[in-house]
Amino acid sequence: MKKGLGGLLVLLFLESLFFALVLVFLFAEDIIAILAVILGTVVLSFVMVKHERLNAFLQDLFNHYKKAAVAWGLVFILGLPFILHDSPYLIHLLFLSGLFAVLAIGLDFQVGSTHLVNFATAADYGVGAYTAALLAVHFGWSFWIILPLSGLAAALFGFLLGLPTMKTKTYYLSLVTIAVGLIIYLLLNNLSWTGGPDGIAGIPYPTIGGFSLGDSFHIFGMELPFQANFYYLVLVILFFEFVVARRLYHSKIGLAWNAIRDDEIAAACQGIDVTGSKIMAFYTNAFFDGLAGAIYAFNVGFIAPENFGFMLSVIVVTMVIIGGMGNVTGVIFGAVIMTLIPEKFQVVQSYRLWLFALIIIIMLLARPKGLFPQKTRQYA
């Protein structure tokens, strides 16, 4: 392949086509157009899998111009609120996509790296959200102090959850996490100091100096709705988590997690602290879930037990599987896809779940290891 200006232009053109496809999907309201975009994406993905030369060409092109590709991608991501400034709802959907991506990457520490299928994500998320709400409403603390405290509270919960689950393995572990998630839901629904089924209202918007994130702002002669503030906030948290995840995956901790996933007995024979590594996966996951819960609570201003039901945990597990277990970038794509597709199917509410299930089945048949499977580690 000739590597020069031509190759760079080809890469930027292909990347721009992908961005255009994303915008078409966001703005599409007709069910035929929505299905056409989804099926077209699936077909292209299938073609790339079957044609190794094309896949290798695109991979080589991206690796050679990686910095330019990433920079162009960041421009698109940061510019989305400007493109969608007249559609606050779409910006809110992107905010939710980022929030679910934070949850999915955290869960991937367990499901993808360590093969601990945890269905207590909603519980971690709820602990973080309720910690933030109680401290803000009853004590008037600042969001910027509450945010790390919510993560630590959820991490403590994850640590305590990890201790008893070490006595179980495989689907027994999953059953324990399901039971814990249901217990947390019942506690939130029945304790008086959590507001019971009425939840907690009146959670104030975060402020930076004299500016409230609940206010719109003007920039470059354009007014951006307040949803853009939370979109950029969750991007900062997502970027932080992405860096942490990449560092962990390529560290001795990540290697230990993968060794436990592949063969727990062999990992123990090599001197790996299996129990300690598993518990670390629990509280690392829970910490980021807590951060996401705090951001969600301050965004909506009201939380109730219904926001943290069991189905939330199932959806996040699905995001990890669809995106590609053990691949941070793939998990983010899985979270975005599985957030936007159900919302787009609101136009056919009666058949929404049927279509949602069909998309999942098609993806699992076409890409059983997810859209972006974890690559084999390579060392120079």
Mind giving me the DSSP string for 89-102?
Answer: HHHHHHHHHHHHHH
> Cα 238–302–25 angle (5° rounding)?
50
For 240, half-sphere exposure in the C-beta direction (CA atoms, 13 angstrom radius) is: 12
Sign of the C-alpha dihedral computed for residues 323, 86, 234 and 189 taken in this order: negative
Give pLDDT, residue 281. Answer: 93
The CATH-assigned architecture of domain 88-349 is Orthogonal Bundle (1.10)
89-119 CB burial, b ≥16 within 10 A, e <16: ebbbbbbbbbbbbbbbbbbbbbbbbbbbbbb
Residues of the chain with pLDDT under 70: 1-4, 45, 48-49, 347-349, 352-353, 355-356, 359, 377-380
d(CA 272, CA 255): 10
> What are the pLDDT digits (tens) for 143-176?
999 999 999 999 999 999 888 888 887 788 889 9
Give pLDDT, residue 345. Answer: 76
Contacts of residue 294, defined as CB under 8 A and 6 or more positions apart, other chains included, come to 128, 129, 131, 132, 143, 146, 147, 150, 151
DSSP 9-35: HHHHHHHHHHHHHHHHHHH--SHHHHH
For 8, half-sphere exposure in the C-beta direction (CA atoms, 13 angstrom radius) is: 9
Give pLDDT, residue 348. Answer: 64
Can you give the residue ranges of every domain in the chain? 1-83, 88-349
Q: Could you tell me the pTM of the whole model?
A: 0.91
Cβ atoms of 91 and 228 closer than 8 Å: yes
Give pLDDT, residue 107. Answer: 94
Partnered with residue 201 across adjacent β-strands are 302
Contacts of residue 328, defined as CB under 8 A and 6 or more positions apart, other chains included, come to 105, 108, 242, 245, 246, 249
Other Cβ atoms within 10 Å of 348 Cβ, number: 13
Q: Using N-to-C axis directions, what is the helix angle for 143-165 and 121-139, rounded to 10°?
A: 140
Closest CA to 113 of 274, 349, 325: 325
Give pLDDT, residue 17. Answer: 87
Give pLDDT, residue 296. Answer: 97
Contacts of residue 206, defined as CB under 8 A and 6 or more positions apart, other chains included, come to 142, 143, 144, 212, 213, 233, 298
Give pLDDT, residue 79. Answer: 93
Tell me if residue 51 falls in helix, strand or coil: coil
Give pLDDT, residue 150. Answer: 97
Contacts of residue 90, defined as CB under 8 A and 6 or more positions apart, other chains included, come to 26, 27, 84
Give pLDDT, residue 171. Answer: 80
Q: What is the 3-state secondary structure (H, E, C) of 205-216?
A: CCEECCEECCCC
For 144, half-sphere exposure in the C-beta direction (CA atoms, 13 angstrom radius) is: 6
d(CA 376, CA 355): 34
d(CA 132, CA 298): 8
